[in-house]
Amino acid sequence: MGLFDNIANKLSGKGDPDNFAEKVMQKLDEKFPPLPVLRFEPKRAENLSVFETKLGGVPYFPKDMEYPLDKAENHKGEPLRLLAQLNFEKLPHIENFPRKGILQFFCASNDEAVYGADFDDLCSAKSFRVIYHENIISDESKLLSAEDMPKFSGEYGEFPFEGEFILEAGKPEMCPLSVSSYLFEENVTEIYNKVTGEKAENWYDIDEEKFDKISEERVFENTCIGGYPFFTQSDPRYDDDIKDCNILLFQCTSFFSADGKEEVMWGDLGVGNFLIPEENLKKLDFSKVVYNWDCG
């Protein structure tokens, strides 16, 4: 039984004679059903194949294809760096995602230290790029090698990590609505009032102990595809122009090694997210993708 499958068991109502927290979350799940998620465990590695599902390293990239370059005015023409790539032929399948091909996420690694994000326009792909290769070339002589890679201007600290990591996939699970999602905040107060008979005006009017009881099992900080996103600050999809980006295309969280060394670090223990409209993903159309990262 996976992490998300255990949530209902943890919400046993101990110290909560009316089981209000469990009732609130049951109502939330009725309105916003759990979504399939595939979680990854990143493990540092070296010289990974260009066909692997991984963070960093040499991407799968045909030599006859134009390499992604920064389009921002201050760094125009600089090569973007591979953040992550997903080889769907080697991954367990979850709903809406491709069954084949390689999906890649490239970001800037320059001295502005925003990892290619444009916080004024989260869909602006000037300094990040999402590229999908539907049909994979197996002949490596036709692909970029480590020797063919462009030189990057940024150093560690101007990108979330250095080196590369294999992404080991778990088994598909179902992820309930996250406390981080704007859908949670927009709906939880009304449901809470119906369950408890109280008249809280908004999420922040709820008693702190009750607030914690409702939210403590709904924080899902994972490197993953699918499910509901995690944000250290707030969900950017309060903006109506991007509310249709309802699928978590990829999420990468910060983490330390067992000996306390920084491995992946988005600012100060932050998280990076890519979100896409469900219909676009089904059509393999990656022209509209929200790229956001935030930190504490």
For 74-110, how does the pLDDT look when each residue is reduced to its tens digit (9 = 90+)? 889 999 999 999 999 999 999 999 999 999 999 999 8
Residue at 11 is within a domain: no
Residue at 213 is within a domain: no
What confidence score (pLDDT) does residue 17 get? 47
Residue at 194 is within a domain: no
Report the pLDDT averaged over residues 233-245. 95
Residue at 209 is within a domain: no
Residue at 63 is within a domain: yes
Give the C-alpha separation, 126 to 82, whole Å: 15
What confidence score (pLDDT) does residue 45 get? 97
Q: Total domain count for the chain? A: 1
Report the pLDDT averaged over residues 112-127. 92
Mean pLDDT of the chain: 90
Residue 272: strand pairing partners: 252, 293
Residue at 212 is within a domain: no
pLDDT tens for each residue of 191-237: 999 998 999 998 888 888 888 888 877 888 899 999 999 999 999 99
Residue at 206 is within a domain: no
pTM comes to 0.91
pLDDT tens for each residue of 3-56: 554 444 443 334 454 688 889 999 999 999 999 999 999 999 999 999 999 999
pLDDT tens for each residue of 64-77: 999 999 999 888 99
Residue 173, domain CATH:
2.30.320.10
Residue at 237 is within a domain: yes
What confidence score (pLDDT) does residue 49 get? 97
What confidence score (pLDDT) does residue 216 get? 79
What confidence score (pLDDT) does residue 8 get? 41
Report the pLDDT averaged over residues 264-268. 94
What confidence score (pLDDT) does residue 26 get? 93
Give the C-alpha separation, 153 to 77, whole Å: 11
Q: Give whole-number Cα distances, 99 to 89, 92, 111, 174, 274, in Å.
A: 6, 9, 37, 19, 19
**Range of the structural domain that residue 276 is part of:** 32-180+219-294
